Amino acid sequence: MPLQVRRIVTGHDTNGKAIVATDEVLPGTTRPGRAGIARVDLWSTNRMPVDNSDEAARAQRAGFVVRHNYVGSGQGTVVRITEFAPGSPKFMHRTETLDYAILLSGECDLELDDGVMVRMKPGDVAVQRGTMHAWVNNGKEPCVFAFVLIDAEPAEAGGQKLLTHYPV
């Protein structure tokens, strides 16, 4: 079955009581050249502290992410669910973000640019800190991640700022 994610968003009624503002199922999307990788961008913000107003929620629901996997505003966040099919193409990349990669199902390898591979199993969490990396599904079943990306200052090493690197 193609990737689908249910998004339940809360809000407030006119008396300040909690309500379910929306409850919907979002289909996964794919990108050209990335066969076997589907994702759903659930929510994004463009500033800290986050604006929890109803007006801001409309824009946050639509998403601020316009460039690849990078949050982009310098102060934002993204939450995304991504599914990698077995043998899907890997792509080595780096973003100017702090990422929490929570493996929900399946198994996946986190590959670093020096060739080190770390096997992840359901429930494992990688804290990805602006390093070059790729997600590699060498298994027989799809793997599904929840990613939380938070804008960050670029990592620095050897006197260089390590800026976003994302293959076209």
pLDDT digits (tens, 9 = 90+) for 59-81: 898 887 555 445 556 788 999 99
Residue 53 lies in a domain: yes
Instruction: Domain count for the chain, please give it.
Output: 1
Q: State how beta strands 77-84 and 117-120 pair.
A: unpaired
pLDDT digits (tens, 9 = 90+) for 128-158: 999 999 999 999 999 999 999 998 888 999 9
Residue 17 lies in a domain: no
The phi, psi pair for 58, rounded to 5°, reads -60, -45
Task: Name the strands in the sheet holding 108-112, side by side, starting at the edge strand that comes first in the sequence.
Answer: 117-120, 108-112, 133-136
Residue 82 lies in a domain: yes
Question: How many CB atoms neighbour CB 49 within 10 A?
Answer: 7
What pTM did the predictor assign? Answer: 0.92
Residue 104 lies in a domain: yes
Does the structure show a pLDDT above 80 at 27?
A: yes
* Contact status, residue 98 vs residue 129, Cβ threshold 8 Å: yes
